Structure 1
Amino acid sequence: MSLRIVVCVKYVPDASGDRRFAEDYTTDREAVDGLLSELDEYGLEQALRIAEVSGDAEITVLTVGPDGANDALHKALSMGADQAIHVKDEAIHGSDVLGTSLILAKALAKAGFDLVMCGMASTDAATGILPALLAERLGIPQVTLLSEVAVDGGTVTARRDGDAATEQLQAAVPAVVSVTDQSGEARYPSFKGIMAAKKKVIQTWDLSDLDIEAEQVGLAGACTAVEAVAARPARSAGTVVKDEGEGGKQLAAFLAEQKFI
Protein backbone atom coordinates (compact mmCIF):
# COMPACT_ATOMS: atom_id res chain seq x y z
CA MET A 1 0.00 0.00 0.00
CA SER A 2 1.30 3.46 -0.93
CA LEU A 3 2.59 5.77 1.77
CA ARG A 4 -0.03 8.50 2.06
CA ILE A 5 1.58 11.87 2.80
CA VAL A 6 -0.55 14.97 3.35
CA VAL A 7 1.26 18.31 3.39
CA CYS A 8 -0.54 21.19 5.11
CA VAL A 9 0.16 24.47 3.33
CA LYS A 10 -1.04 28.02 3.78
CA TYR A 11 -1.86 30.88 1.43
CA VAL A 12 -0.34 33.99 3.03
CA PRO A 13 0.06 37.69 2.20
CA ASP A 14 3.36 38.51 0.51
CA ALA A 15 5.72 39.63 3.30
CA SER A 16 7.32 42.16 0.95
CA GLY A 17 3.98 43.93 0.46
CA ASP A 18 2.19 46.49 2.60
CA ARG A 19 0.33 44.11 4.91
CA ARG A 20 -2.51 45.55 6.98
CA PHE A 21 -5.71 44.72 8.82
CA ALA A 22 -9.23 45.00 7.44
CA GLU A 23 -12.06 46.77 9.27
CA ASP A 24 -12.88 43.63 11.27
CA TYR A 25 -9.22 43.33 12.38
CA THR A 26 -8.57 40.30 10.21
CA THR A 27 -5.88 40.19 7.53
CA ASP A 28 -6.74 42.39 4.57
CA ARG A 29 -6.13 39.97 1.71
CA GLU A 30 -7.22 42.49 -0.92
CA ALA A 31 -4.44 44.93 -0.02
CA VAL A 32 -1.54 42.68 -0.97
CA ASP A 33 -0.82 39.71 -3.22
CA GLY A 34 -0.92 36.24 -1.70
CA LEU A 35 1.36 33.25 -2.19
CA LEU A 36 2.33 29.84 -0.84
CA SER A 37 4.00 30.29 2.55
CA GLU A 38 7.73 29.89 1.99
CA LEU A 39 8.18 27.83 5.15
CA ASP A 40 5.55 25.35 3.94
CA GLU A 41 7.63 24.77 0.81
CA TYR A 42 10.23 23.09 3.04
CA GLY A 43 7.59 20.67 4.29
CA LEU A 44 6.55 19.85 0.73
CA GLU A 45 10.18 19.41 -0.32
CA GLN A 46 10.77 16.85 2.43
CA ALA A 47 7.58 15.02 1.45
CA LEU A 48 8.80 14.85 -2.15
CA ARG A 49 12.16 13.49 -1.04
CA ILE A 50 10.52 10.83 1.12
CA ALA A 51 8.32 9.86 -1.85
CA GLU A 52 11.36 9.60 -4.12
CA VAL A 53 13.12 7.27 -1.68
CA SER A 54 9.98 5.23 -1.06
CA GLY A 55 9.12 4.82 -4.72
CA ASP A 56 5.53 4.18 -3.69
CA ALA A 57 3.98 7.25 -2.10
CA GLU A 58 1.11 9.63 -2.81
CA ILE A 59 1.35 13.29 -1.83
CA THR A 60 -1.72 15.41 -1.19
CA VAL A 61 -1.49 19.11 -0.36
CA LEU A 62 -4.20 20.47 1.93
CA THR A 63 -5.10 24.08 2.60
CA VAL A 64 -7.80 26.13 4.31
CA GLY A 65 -8.41 29.55 2.84
CA PRO A 66 -10.22 31.86 0.42
CA ASP A 67 -10.52 31.44 -3.35
CA GLY A 68 -7.01 32.79 -3.88
CA ALA A 69 -5.56 29.84 -1.95
CA ASN A 70 -5.90 27.87 -5.18
CA ASP A 71 -2.75 29.69 -6.33
CA ALA A 72 -0.79 28.14 -3.46
CA LEU A 73 -2.15 24.71 -4.33
CA HIS A 74 -1.25 25.09 -8.01
CA LYS A 75 2.35 25.91 -7.08
CA ALA A 76 2.53 22.90 -4.76
CA LEU A 77 1.17 20.68 -7.53
CA SER A 78 3.69 22.09 -10.00
CA MET A 79 6.48 21.26 -7.52
CA GLY A 80 5.41 17.61 -7.64
CA ALA A 81 2.43 16.93 -5.34
CA ASP A 82 -0.09 14.48 -6.80
CA GLN A 83 -3.39 16.07 -5.77
CA ALA A 84 -4.84 18.81 -3.60
CA ILE A 85 -7.69 19.56 -1.23
CA HIS A 86 -9.01 23.08 -0.69
CA VAL A 87 -11.32 23.68 2.27
CA LYS A 88 -13.18 26.94 1.78
CA ASP A 89 -16.32 28.35 3.32
CA GLU A 90 -17.37 31.92 4.10
CA ALA A 91 -17.83 30.93 7.75
CA ILE A 92 -14.11 30.15 8.06
CA HIS A 93 -13.18 33.84 7.76
CA GLY A 94 -11.49 35.05 10.93
CA SER A 95 -10.60 31.60 12.30
CA ASP A 96 -7.67 31.53 14.72
CA VAL A 97 -5.13 28.71 14.92
CA LEU A 98 -7.46 26.63 17.10
CA GLY A 99 -10.28 26.84 14.58
CA THR A 100 -7.91 26.19 11.71
CA SER A 101 -6.51 23.11 13.45
CA LEU A 102 -10.04 21.75 13.89
CA ILE A 103 -10.77 22.15 10.18
CA LEU A 104 -7.47 20.61 9.13
CA ALA A 105 -7.82 17.69 11.54
CA LYS A 106 -11.30 16.90 10.23
CA ALA A 107 -10.06 17.16 6.63
CA LEU A 108 -7.09 14.91 7.38
CA ALA A 109 -9.35 12.30 8.94
CA LYS A 110 -11.64 12.41 5.90
CA ALA A 111 -8.79 12.24 3.39
CA GLY A 112 -6.79 9.54 5.16
CA PHE A 113 -3.05 9.71 5.78
CA ASP A 114 0.04 7.98 7.09
CA LEU A 115 2.21 11.06 7.49
CA VAL A 116 1.23 14.72 7.95
CA MET A 117 3.95 17.19 6.93
CA CYS A 118 4.06 20.87 7.97
CA GLY A 119 6.43 23.79 7.85
CA MET A 120 7.78 25.15 11.13
CA ALA A 121 5.34 28.10 11.10
CA SER A 122 3.40 30.28 8.71
CA THR A 123 4.95 33.53 7.55
CA ASP A 124 1.93 35.61 8.59
CA ALA A 125 0.62 34.48 11.99
CA ALA A 126 3.86 32.61 12.89
CA THR A 127 2.43 30.85 15.95
CA GLY A 128 4.30 27.62 15.19
CA ILE A 129 1.84 25.52 17.24
CA LEU A 130 -0.37 24.11 14.48
CA PRO A 131 1.49 20.75 14.15
CA ALA A 132 1.13 20.13 17.89
CA LEU A 133 -2.58 20.97 17.78
CA LEU A 134 -3.09 18.60 14.85
CA ALA A 135 -1.29 15.78 16.66
CA GLU A 136 -3.44 16.34 19.76
CA ARG A 137 -6.70 16.41 17.81
CA LEU A 138 -5.77 13.31 15.79
CA GLY A 139 -4.33 11.42 18.78
CA ILE A 140 -1.03 10.61 17.05
CA PRO A 141 2.67 11.35 17.76
CA GLN A 142 4.31 14.63 16.76
CA VAL A 143 7.95 15.01 15.71
CA THR A 144 8.54 18.71 15.17
CA LEU A 145 11.14 21.33 14.21
CA LEU A 146 13.28 18.84 12.30
CA SER A 147 16.39 19.46 10.24
CA GLU A 148 16.33 15.95 8.78
CA VAL A 149 13.55 13.38 8.37
CA ALA A 150 13.11 9.98 6.75
CA VAL A 151 10.54 7.19 6.77
CA ASP A 152 11.56 3.54 6.88
CA GLY A 153 8.69 1.11 6.89
CA GLY A 154 6.38 2.24 9.67
CA THR A 155 8.91 4.43 11.47
CA VAL A 156 9.83 8.10 11.16
CA THR A 157 13.47 8.80 11.98
CA ALA A 158 14.53 12.39 12.43
CA ARG A 159 17.10 14.88 13.68
CA ARG A 160 16.33 18.06 15.59
CA ASP A 161 19.11 20.64 15.91
CA GLY A 162 18.92 22.92 18.94
CA ASP A 163 21.17 25.68 20.22
CA ALA A 164 22.91 23.41 22.71
CA ALA A 165 22.30 19.88 21.45
CA THR A 166 21.17 17.67 18.58
CA GLU A 167 18.43 15.11 19.20
CA GLN A 168 17.81 11.88 17.29
CA LEU A 169 14.10 11.05 17.29
CA GLN A 170 11.79 8.24 16.22
CA ALA A 171 8.03 7.84 15.98
CA ALA A 172 5.65 5.27 14.58
CA VAL A 173 3.38 6.31 11.73
CA PRO A 174 0.80 7.73 11.55
CA ALA A 175 2.50 10.89 12.82
CA VAL A 176 2.64 14.66 12.39
CA VAL A 177 6.01 16.06 11.32
CA SER A 178 7.23 19.64 10.91
CA VAL A 179 10.53 20.72 9.39
CA THR A 180 12.58 23.90 9.67
CA ASP A 181 14.13 26.02 6.95
CA GLN A 182 17.40 24.15 7.59
CA SER A 183 16.00 20.88 6.23
CA GLY A 184 16.92 21.54 2.59
CA GLU A 185 16.10 24.09 -0.10
CA ALA A 186 12.77 23.62 -1.82
CA ARG A 187 12.88 22.86 -5.53
CA TYR A 188 11.59 25.25 -8.19
CA PRO A 189 8.64 24.14 -10.32
CA SER A 190 9.84 22.92 -13.70
CA PHE A 191 8.05 23.70 -16.97
CA LYS A 192 7.02 20.05 -17.14
CA GLY A 193 5.71 20.25 -13.57
CA ILE A 194 3.74 23.42 -14.30
CA MET A 195 2.07 21.83 -17.32
CA ALA A 196 1.35 18.60 -15.43
CA ALA A 197 -0.23 20.53 -12.56
CA LYS A 198 -3.01 21.74 -14.86
CA LYS A 199 -4.30 18.18 -15.14
CA LYS A 200 -4.12 17.33 -11.43
CA VAL A 201 -7.24 17.21 -9.29
CA ILE A 202 -8.11 19.84 -6.67
CA GLN A 203 -11.00 18.74 -4.47
CA THR A 204 -13.06 21.47 -2.79
CA TRP A 205 -14.72 20.86 0.55
CA ASP A 206 -16.77 23.12 2.81
CA LEU A 207 -17.65 22.89 6.50
CA SER A 208 -20.66 20.66 5.87
CA ASP A 209 -18.39 18.09 4.23
CA LEU A 210 -16.41 17.94 7.48
CA ASP A 211 -19.38 17.96 9.90
CA ILE A 212 -18.26 21.27 11.40
CA GLU A 213 -20.77 23.89 12.55
CA ALA A 214 -20.11 27.47 11.51
CA GLU A 215 -20.15 28.58 15.17
CA GLN A 216 -17.11 26.39 15.90
CA VAL A 217 -14.82 28.39 13.62
CA GLY A 218 -14.47 31.88 12.17
CA LEU A 219 -14.57 35.03 14.28
CA ALA A 220 -17.50 33.69 16.31
CA GLY A 221 -15.60 30.60 17.39
CA ALA A 222 -12.17 32.15 17.79
CA CYS A 223 -10.51 31.97 21.22
CA THR A 224 -8.18 34.82 20.30
CA ALA A 225 -8.95 38.14 18.65
CA VAL A 226 -7.29 41.42 17.69
CA GLU A 227 -9.00 44.22 19.60
CA ALA A 228 -7.11 47.25 18.32
CA VAL A 229 -4.44 48.16 15.78
CA ALA A 230 -2.22 51.18 15.25
CA ALA A 231 -0.10 52.21 12.31
CA ARG A 232 3.61 51.70 12.66
CA PRO A 233 5.26 55.02 13.63
CA ALA A 234 7.17 56.77 10.89
CA ARG A 235 10.92 56.31 11.07
CA SER A 236 12.59 59.34 12.58
CA ALA A 237 15.72 60.89 11.15
CA GLY A 238 18.93 59.46 12.51
CA THR A 239 21.61 61.36 14.41
CA VAL A 240 24.55 62.38 12.24
CA VAL A 241 27.91 62.64 13.97
CA LYS A 242 30.44 64.77 12.12
CA ASP A 243 33.86 63.59 13.14
CA GLU A 244 36.24 66.47 13.72
CA GLY A 245 38.39 64.61 16.17
CA GLU A 246 35.69 64.06 18.80
CA GLY A 247 33.55 61.54 16.88
CA GLY A 248 34.48 58.64 19.14
CA LYS A 249 33.47 60.53 22.26
CA GLN A 250 30.21 61.65 20.71
CA LEU A 251 29.40 58.08 19.67
CA ALA A 252 30.18 56.76 23.15
CA ALA A 253 28.03 59.46 24.72
CA PHE A 254 25.13 58.61 22.40
CA LEU A 255 25.38 54.88 23.20
CA ALA A 256 25.52 55.61 26.91
CA GLU A 257 22.46 57.89 26.66
CA GLN A 258 20.53 55.09 24.94
CA LYS A 259 21.77 52.67 27.63
CA PHE A 260 23.52 50.47 25.09
CA ILE A 261 26.70 50.66 27.13
Structure 2
Amino acid sequence: MNKEKIKYGIVLSAKLLPLILVVVWVLTLVWVGVLKSHPVNHTPQMLVYDFSKKGDSLKYKVEHEWVPLDSISENLVMAVLAAEDRNFFVHEGFALKNDSDSIAGRQDFLAQKTISQRTANAVFLMNGKTWFHRINETYYTVMIEEFWGKRRILEVYLNSELMGEGIFGAEAASQIYFRKKAGDLTRDEASFIAATIENPLAINEQHLSDSLICRKKKILEDMSLMMKVKMGKKPIDEVENTKFKPVYRRKWRG
Protein backbone atom coordinates (compact mmCIF):
# COMPACT_ATOMS: atom_id res chain seq x y z
CA MET A 1 0.00 0.00 0.00
CA ASN A 2 2.78 2.40 0.95
CA LYS A 3 4.66 1.59 -2.23
CA GLU A 4 1.58 2.39 -4.27
CA LYS A 5 1.18 5.75 -2.49
CA ILE A 6 4.82 6.60 -3.10
CA LYS A 7 4.52 5.64 -6.75
CA TYR A 8 1.33 7.69 -7.08
CA GLY A 9 3.04 10.67 -5.44
CA ILE A 10 5.98 10.47 -7.83
CA VAL A 11 3.71 10.26 -10.87
CA LEU A 12 1.58 13.16 -9.63
CA SER A 13 4.67 15.29 -8.93
CA ALA A 14 6.01 14.56 -12.41
CA LYS A 15 2.71 15.68 -13.93
CA LEU A 16 2.50 18.83 -11.81
CA LEU A 17 6.12 19.89 -12.26
CA PRO A 18 5.62 21.52 -15.70
CA LEU A 19 2.62 23.43 -14.36
CA ILE A 20 4.58 24.60 -11.32
CA LEU A 21 7.45 25.77 -13.52
CA VAL A 22 5.05 27.69 -15.75
CA VAL A 23 3.42 29.36 -12.74
CA VAL A 24 6.82 30.34 -11.31
CA TRP A 25 7.90 31.71 -14.70
CA VAL A 26 4.71 33.78 -15.02
CA LEU A 27 5.13 35.18 -11.49
CA THR A 28 8.74 36.21 -12.14
CA LEU A 29 7.70 37.73 -15.46
CA VAL A 30 5.03 39.80 -13.69
CA TRP A 31 7.53 40.83 -11.00
CA VAL A 32 10.05 41.99 -13.58
CA GLY A 33 7.29 43.77 -15.50
CA VAL A 34 6.03 45.65 -12.44
CA LEU A 35 9.51 46.85 -11.50
CA LYS A 36 10.12 48.05 -15.05
CA SER A 37 8.11 51.20 -14.38
CA HIS A 38 7.84 51.48 -10.58
CA PRO A 39 10.45 52.79 -8.13
CA VAL A 40 12.36 50.02 -6.36
CA ASN A 41 12.11 51.27 -2.79
CA HIS A 42 12.87 47.96 -1.11
CA THR A 43 15.23 45.14 -2.03
CA PRO A 44 15.99 41.85 -0.25
CA GLN A 45 19.40 43.22 0.76
CA MET A 46 17.86 46.34 2.31
CA LEU A 47 15.34 44.30 4.27
CA VAL A 48 17.93 41.84 5.56
CA TYR A 49 20.34 44.63 6.50
CA ASP A 50 17.64 46.56 8.34
CA PHE A 51 16.43 43.45 10.17
CA SER A 52 19.95 42.43 11.19
CA LYS A 53 20.67 45.85 12.74
CA LYS A 54 17.41 46.40 14.60
CA GLY A 55 18.78 45.20 17.91
CA ASP A 56 22.02 47.16 17.66
CA SER A 57 21.68 50.85 18.52
CA LEU A 58 25.28 51.48 17.44
CA LYS A 59 24.57 50.61 13.82
CA TYR A 60 23.07 52.82 11.16
CA LYS A 61 19.62 52.22 9.79
CA VAL A 62 18.97 51.80 6.08
CA GLU A 63 19.27 55.05 4.16
CA HIS A 64 17.59 55.09 0.75
CA GLU A 65 15.73 57.54 -1.45
CA TRP A 66 14.64 56.75 -4.99
CA VAL A 67 15.35 59.35 -7.67
CA PRO A 68 14.94 59.07 -11.46
CA LEU A 69 18.03 58.71 -13.61
CA ASP A 70 17.61 62.26 -14.92
CA SER A 71 18.09 63.50 -11.34
CA ILE A 72 21.47 61.79 -10.98
CA SER A 73 24.59 63.67 -12.04
CA GLU A 74 26.19 62.58 -15.29
CA ASN A 75 29.45 62.69 -13.35
CA LEU A 76 28.25 59.84 -11.13
CA VAL A 77 26.96 57.85 -14.10
CA MET A 78 30.35 58.21 -15.78
CA ALA A 79 32.22 57.37 -12.56
CA VAL A 80 30.21 54.21 -11.93
CA LEU A 81 30.61 53.04 -15.52
CA ALA A 82 34.36 53.71 -15.34
CA ALA A 83 34.65 51.81 -12.07
CA GLU A 84 32.27 48.92 -12.59
CA ASP A 85 31.42 48.22 -16.21
CA ARG A 86 32.92 50.22 -19.07
CA ASN A 87 31.25 48.06 -21.70
CA PHE A 88 27.80 48.28 -20.13
CA PHE A 89 26.14 49.70 -23.23
CA VAL A 90 27.88 47.18 -25.49
CA HIS A 91 27.49 43.77 -23.83
CA GLU A 92 24.20 41.90 -23.42
CA GLY A 93 24.40 41.45 -19.68
CA PHE A 94 27.55 39.38 -19.32
CA ALA A 95 31.27 39.97 -19.73
CA LEU A 96 34.20 37.57 -19.99
CA LYS A 97 36.35 37.37 -16.87
CA ASN A 98 39.48 38.13 -18.87
CA ASP A 99 37.93 41.28 -20.34
CA SER A 100 40.02 43.86 -18.50
CA ASP A 101 38.09 46.74 -20.05
CA SER A 102 34.76 45.57 -18.67
CA ILE A 103 35.52 45.64 -14.98
CA ALA A 104 38.35 47.94 -13.95
CA GLY A 105 40.85 46.33 -11.61
CA ARG A 106 38.43 43.98 -9.86
CA GLN A 107 39.37 40.42 -8.86
CA ASP A 108 36.77 39.18 -6.36
CA PHE A 109 33.70 37.08 -7.26
CA LEU A 110 31.18 39.92 -7.31
CA ALA A 111 33.63 42.19 -9.10
CA GLN A 112 33.58 39.97 -12.18
CA LYS A 113 29.90 40.72 -12.67
CA THR A 114 28.45 43.37 -14.92
CA ILE A 115 26.10 46.11 -13.76
CA SER A 116 23.23 44.07 -15.20
CA GLN A 117 24.18 41.04 -13.10
CA ARG A 118 24.68 43.13 -9.98
CA THR A 119 21.28 44.77 -10.50
CA ALA A 120 19.59 41.39 -10.85
CA ASN A 121 21.35 40.21 -7.71
CA ALA A 122 20.48 43.33 -5.70
CA VAL A 123 16.81 43.56 -6.67
CA PHE A 124 15.70 39.94 -6.93
CA LEU A 125 18.19 37.89 -4.91
CA MET A 126 20.67 37.86 -2.06
CA ASN A 127 24.43 37.56 -2.31
CA GLY A 128 25.48 33.97 -2.86
CA LYS A 129 28.01 31.75 -4.60
CA THR A 130 26.06 28.53 -5.09
CA TRP A 131 25.23 27.21 -8.54
CA PHE A 132 21.52 27.63 -7.77
CA HIS A 133 22.13 31.31 -7.05
CA ARG A 134 24.16 31.75 -10.23
CA ILE A 135 21.43 30.14 -12.31
CA ASN A 136 18.80 32.46 -10.83
CA GLU A 137 21.05 35.48 -11.27
CA THR A 138 21.65 34.56 -14.91
CA TYR A 139 17.92 34.12 -15.45
CA TYR A 140 17.04 37.53 -13.99
CA THR A 141 19.91 39.18 -15.84
CA VAL A 142 18.55 37.92 -19.15
CA MET A 143 15.05 39.02 -18.14
CA ILE A 144 15.96 42.61 -17.26
CA GLU A 145 18.22 42.96 -20.29
CA GLU A 146 15.29 41.87 -22.45
CA PHE A 147 12.43 43.73 -20.77
CA TRP A 148 14.00 46.72 -19.02
CA GLY A 149 16.73 47.92 -21.32
CA LYS A 150 20.03 49.58 -20.42
CA ARG A 151 18.65 52.90 -19.18
CA ARG A 152 16.26 51.29 -16.70
CA ILE A 153 18.91 48.84 -15.49
CA LEU A 154 21.31 51.70 -14.83
CA GLU A 155 18.60 53.70 -13.06
CA VAL A 156 17.72 50.81 -10.75
CA TYR A 157 21.37 49.99 -10.10
CA LEU A 158 22.23 53.56 -9.10
CA ASN A 159 19.26 53.55 -6.72
CA SER A 160 19.85 50.12 -5.18
CA GLU A 161 23.60 49.52 -4.87
CA LEU A 162 25.20 49.55 -1.41
CA MET A 163 27.51 52.57 -1.15
CA GLY A 164 28.40 52.55 2.53
CA GLU A 165 27.22 51.19 5.88
CA GLY A 166 23.46 51.06 5.35
CA ILE A 167 23.64 53.52 2.44
CA PHE A 168 21.71 52.31 -0.59
CA GLY A 169 21.65 54.32 -3.79
CA ALA A 170 23.08 57.53 -5.20
CA GLU A 171 20.74 60.01 -3.51
CA ALA A 172 21.32 58.64 -0.01
CA ALA A 173 25.08 58.53 -0.59
CA SER A 174 25.12 62.10 -1.90
CA GLN A 175 23.09 63.44 1.01
CA ILE A 176 25.13 61.61 3.65
CA TYR A 177 28.62 62.14 2.26
CA PHE A 178 28.25 65.63 0.78
CA ARG A 179 24.91 67.09 1.95
CA LYS A 180 23.73 67.65 -1.59
CA LYS A 181 21.47 66.07 -4.17
CA ALA A 182 22.78 63.35 -6.46
CA GLY A 183 22.23 65.64 -9.42
CA ASP A 184 24.71 68.20 -8.08
CA LEU A 185 27.75 65.95 -7.62
CA THR A 186 31.09 67.10 -8.99
CA ARG A 187 33.55 64.73 -10.67
CA ASP A 188 35.58 64.54 -7.49
CA GLU A 189 32.57 63.68 -5.35
CA ALA A 190 31.18 61.24 -7.90
CA SER A 191 34.48 59.37 -8.11
CA PHE A 192 34.49 58.99 -4.32
CA ILE A 193 30.99 57.49 -4.26
CA ALA A 194 31.88 55.14 -7.12
CA ALA A 195 34.99 54.08 -5.22
CA THR A 196 32.92 53.03 -2.19
CA ILE A 197 31.08 50.35 -4.17
CA GLU A 198 34.05 47.98 -4.15
CA ASN A 199 34.01 47.59 -0.35
CA PRO A 200 31.15 49.69 1.06
CA LEU A 201 31.23 48.26 4.58
CA ALA A 202 34.88 49.22 5.06
CA ILE A 203 34.38 52.99 4.77
CA ASN A 204 35.96 54.74 7.75
CA GLU A 205 34.25 58.04 8.42
CA GLN A 206 37.24 59.38 10.34
CA HIS A 207 40.00 58.38 7.94
CA LEU A 208 39.95 57.58 4.23
CA SER A 209 42.06 54.52 3.51
CA ASP A 210 44.91 54.63 1.02
CA SER A 211 43.18 51.99 -1.11
CA LEU A 212 40.01 54.10 -1.31
CA ILE A 213 41.98 57.22 -2.28
CA CYS A 214 43.92 55.28 -4.93
CA ARG A 215 40.74 53.80 -6.34
CA LYS A 216 39.11 57.24 -6.42
CA LYS A 217 42.13 58.59 -8.30
CA LYS A 218 42.02 55.70 -10.78
CA ILE A 219 38.32 56.28 -11.42
CA LEU A 220 38.94 59.97 -12.11
CA GLU A 221 41.66 59.04 -14.59
CA ASP A 222 39.36 56.54 -16.30
CA MET A 223 36.54 59.11 -16.40
CA SER A 224 38.88 61.56 -18.06
CA LEU A 225 39.92 58.99 -20.64
CA MET A 226 36.31 57.99 -21.35
CA MET A 227 35.32 61.62 -21.85
CA LYS A 228 38.29 62.23 -24.13
CA VAL A 229 37.45 59.23 -26.30
CA LYS A 230 33.66 59.44 -26.35
CA MET A 231 32.96 63.16 -25.98
CA GLY A 232 36.02 64.82 -27.45
CA LYS A 233 36.89 66.56 -24.18
CA LYS A 234 40.39 66.99 -22.83
CA PRO A 235 41.32 64.85 -19.83
CA ILE A 236 41.54 66.71 -16.55
CA ASP A 237 45.07 67.50 -15.45
CA GLU A 238 44.56 67.14 -11.73
CA VAL A 239 42.93 63.82 -10.90
CA GLU A 240 42.99 64.08 -7.14
CA ASN A 241 42.24 66.89 -4.74
CA THR A 242 44.56 66.35 -1.79
CA LYS A 243 42.24 68.37 0.45
CA PHE A 244 39.22 66.29 -0.51
CA LYS A 245 37.21 65.09 2.46
CA PRO A 246 33.53 64.10 2.48
CA VAL A 247 31.18 65.62 5.04
CA TYR A 248 29.19 62.91 6.79
CA ARG A 249 25.62 63.31 7.97
CA ARG A 250 24.18 60.13 9.41
CA LYS A 251 20.95 59.23 11.20
CA TRP A 252 21.51 56.96 14.15
CA ARG A 253 19.01 54.27 14.92
CA GLY A 254 17.06 55.34 17.97
Q: Would you call these one fold, judging by a TM-score over 0.5?
A: no
Higher helix share: 2
Higher-Rg structure is 1
Q: TM-score, normalised by structure 2?
A: 0.24
